Amino acid sequence: EWYTLMQEREIPIKYPYNPKTGGAHDGFVAIDPGGYLLEFEIFKQHPENERFIAALDGAPKIPAGAQELSFFASITWTYHKDMLKMQQFYQEVLGFTLVADQGWTKIYQTTPYSYIGLVDECRGMEDYAESKAVELEWSLENTEALDRYASENWGPYKYREYALFGPENYRYVLSSSD
């Protein structure tokens, strides 16, 4: 339905929808007016998706406001040179759970229905870039506890004024939900 809507609205498509039997996922990539790539993907029952499908179990449909179409979750894809370093950062520093390992991509759950997908720049649609077009932000209930935790545990990473500067020039903003 999403692909049909994009075609009806003449939205540019970078990679068309071409479903395949037996694969882990099917999808297509559209180009938004700002030039950003928007990937619409269906994750199918497949060994690499077992944890991801379980994480999505019971997820409510998120209305998109277009012809009663909806999403179940969103993934923000980021591109990396050193996947092992980034995996360690996401798991050991940020404490996120790996929910899908596609080999050259790793998907981490960051909120109940939001995910970050780490992509090996050698295989992804984009290359690693020193200058980042994306800033990742999470709202927290207790920023005082975060300050204490950060000062005790995030020694090798720069943390100041509710922003953590991780590997590969990514900036993570941690704001108060108050």
The whole model's pTM is what? 0.84
d(CA 162, CA 150): 9
Q: What is the β-pairing status of strands 105-111 and 97-101? A: antiparallel
Q: What is the pLDDT of residues 75-97, one digit of tens each?
A: 999 889 999 999 999 998 888 99
Band of pLDDT at residue 132, cut at 50, 70 and 90: low
DSSP secondary structure string, 80-137? ES-HHHHHHIIIIIS-PEEEEE-SSEEEEEEETTEEEEEEETTTSSS---SS-S--EE
- Enter the tokens of residue 135: 């800033």
Q: What is the pLDDT of residues 15-53, one digit of tens each?
A: 999 999 988 999 999 999 888 889 999 989 999 889 989
d(CA 155, CA 151): 7
Region 53-74: what's the mean pLDDT? 85
Q: Give yes or no for residue 127 having a pLDDT over 80.
A: no
